[in-house]
Amino acid sequence: MSEKRNENANNQKSGRRRRWLLIPAALILAAVIALGFLGNYLVNFALLRSEEHDVAPEAITEEDRPVFEANKAALEAMTDAWLAEASCEEISLASDDGLTLRADLFVTDETSHDWLIGVHGYTGSREDYRTT
């Protein structure tokens, strides 16, 4: 009789131990699945971003449209004037893994210590700087 009690007690301890091991395993599995979905979303958002994330033209009210268009035209005029004044030099260097990295160096004032390093997105190109 006492052997049966000992066997039942051992089975109960084993069952409790198994349950306590299943809880962390289930939590880890849930975290891995959640991180997989989150990672997939972020990669798709960063690499496959479409114009749907930009401000839609219909989101601009008719009242604000003239201001928007005037600001856009002014920005393009300032960009064109700056690009006409700046000298552009194409620079390239080899990365550690053998890829050739290319850049455009724009210089307008040799005495200035102001710098801007612009980096386009993964699917972008240097033409994307036209309106920045």
Tens-place pLDDT, residues 22-55: 888 999 999 999 999 999 888 877 777 665 556 6
* pLDDT over 80 (residue 68): yes
Give the pLDDT of residue 36.
93
* pLDDT over 80 (residue 120): no
The answer to whether residues 74 and 131 touch, using CB atoms and an 8 Å cutoff, is no
Average pLDDT, the chain: 78
Ranges 19-28, 73-82, 100-109, 118-127: which has the least confidence: 118-127
Q: Please give the Cα distance from 25 to 31 (Å, whole number).
A: 10
| Sign, Cα dihedral of 41, 44, 47, 51 | negative
